[in-house]
Chains A and B, each alone.
Chain A
Amino acid sequence: MNPWAVYALSGVAMFSVGLVGLFSHQHVVKRILASNIAGSGVLIVLVALARRAPSGVPDPVPHALVLTGIVVSVSSTALGVALARRMARLRADAARASEPPPGSGGEGP
Chain B
Amino acid sequence: MDVLLDGVLALCLPLLAWLVLRTESLSQAVVLFVAFGLLSALGWARLEAPDIALVESAVGTGLTGALLMHTLSWTEETPPDIRARGRRRPWALLAVAASTLMLGWAVLALPADSPGLGPLVEARREESGVKHPVTAVLLNFRGYDTLLEIAVLLVAALGARAVNPRSERPTPDAGDDPLTGELFRMMMPALLLVAGYLVWVGDHGPGGAFQAGAILAGGGVVALLTMRMGPPRLSSWQVRWALLTGPMLFIGVAVAPLFTGRRLLELPRPYAGTLIFVVELALTVTIAMVLLMFFPGTRPPRAGAEGEP
A residues whose Cβ falls under 8 Å from a Cβ of B: 1-10, 12-21, 24-30, 32-34, 36-37, 40-41, 43-45, 47-55, 57-68, 70-79, 81-86, 88-89, 92, 104, 107, 109
Q: Is the CB of B72 within 8 A of A29?
A: yes
For the complex of A and B, 7 pairs with smallest distance between CB atoms? A75-B156, A59-B118, A13-B14, A60-B133, A78-B294, A59-B116, A10-B10
B121 A61 Cβ-Cβ under 8 A: yes
> Contact check: which of A45, A52, A66, A79 meets B49 at CB < 8 Å?
A66
A9 pairs with B40, CB closer than 8 A = no
B186 close to chain A: CB less than 8 A: no
> CB distance B116 to A50 under 8 Å?
yes
Cβ contacts under 8 Å, A14 to chain B: 13-14, 17
Q: List residues of chain A with CB within 8 A of the CB of B257.
A: none
Contact between chains at A67 and B75 (CB < 8 Å)? no
Chain B contacts to A: CB under 8 angstroms: 2-3, 6-7, 9-11, 13-14, 17-18, 20-21, 26, 29-30, 33, 36-37, 40, 43-44, 46-49, 51-52, 55-56, 59-60, 63-64, 67-68, 71-72, 74-75, 79, 81-82, 89, 92, 95-97, 99-100, 103-104, 107-108, 110-119, 121-122, 133-134, 136-138, 141-142, 145-146, 149, 152-153, 155-157, 159-160, 163-165, 167-168, 210, 287, 290-291, 294, 296, 308
Q: Find out whether the CB atom of A37 lies under 8 angstroms from the CB atom of B92.
A: no
Contact with A40, one of B60, B67, B75, B160 (Cβ below 8 angstroms): B60
| Given A9-B10, A67-B210, A104:B36 Cβ within 8 A | no
Provide the bound-state CA to CA distance between A59 and B64, in Å. Answer: 28
- Are B99's CB and A20's CB within 8 A? yes
When the two chains form their complex, are residues A85 and B296 in contact, meaning their CB atoms are under 8 A apart? Answer: yes
* A37–B20 CB distance below 8 A: yes
Instruction: Provide the main secondary structure of the chain B interface.
Output: helix
Assuming A53-B118, A64-B138, A109-B165, is B47 touching A7 (CB within 8 A)?
yes
* Given contacts A33-B33, A81-B67, A86-B164, A3 and B6 within 8 Å (CB-CB): yes
Contact A60 B121 (CB under 8 A): yes
Q: Are A49 and B49 neighbours in the complex by a CB distance under 8 Å?
A: no
Contacts of A72 in B (CB 8 A): 149, 152
Note all chain B residues with C-beta closer than 8 A to A77: 64, 67
Most chain A beta carbons < 10 A, residue from B6, B100, B108: B100
A26 to B113, CA, bound (A): 42
Contact B153 A85 (CB under 8 A): no
Q: Which of A5, A17, A55, A68 sits near B118, CB closer than 8 Å?
A: A55
Q: List 24 A-B contacts (CB under 8 A).
A: A7-B10, A10-B9, A10-B14, A10-B43, A17-B14, A17-B18, A29-B71, A33-B30, A37-B21, A41-B14, A44-B44, A47-B44, A60-B133, A61-B116, A74-B59, A74-B60, A75-B152, A77-B64, A81-B294, A84-B71, A85-B296, A86-B163, A88-B71, A92-B74
C-alpha gap A73/B67 in the complex (Å): 14
Q: Which residues of B contact A79 (CB under 8 A)?
A: 156, 159-160
Contact A3 B2 (CB under 8 A): yes
Chain A residues with CB below 8 A from B296, complex form: 82, 85
B68 CB contacts on chain A under 8 angstroms: 29, 32-33, 81
User: Given known contacts A30-B21, A75-B155, what 13 new A-B pairs fall within 8 Å (CB)?
Assistant: A3-B46, A10-B11, A24-B89, A30-B26, A47-B47, A59-B117, A61-B116, A63-B49, A68-B145, A70-B52, A84-B71, A84-B74, A85-B296
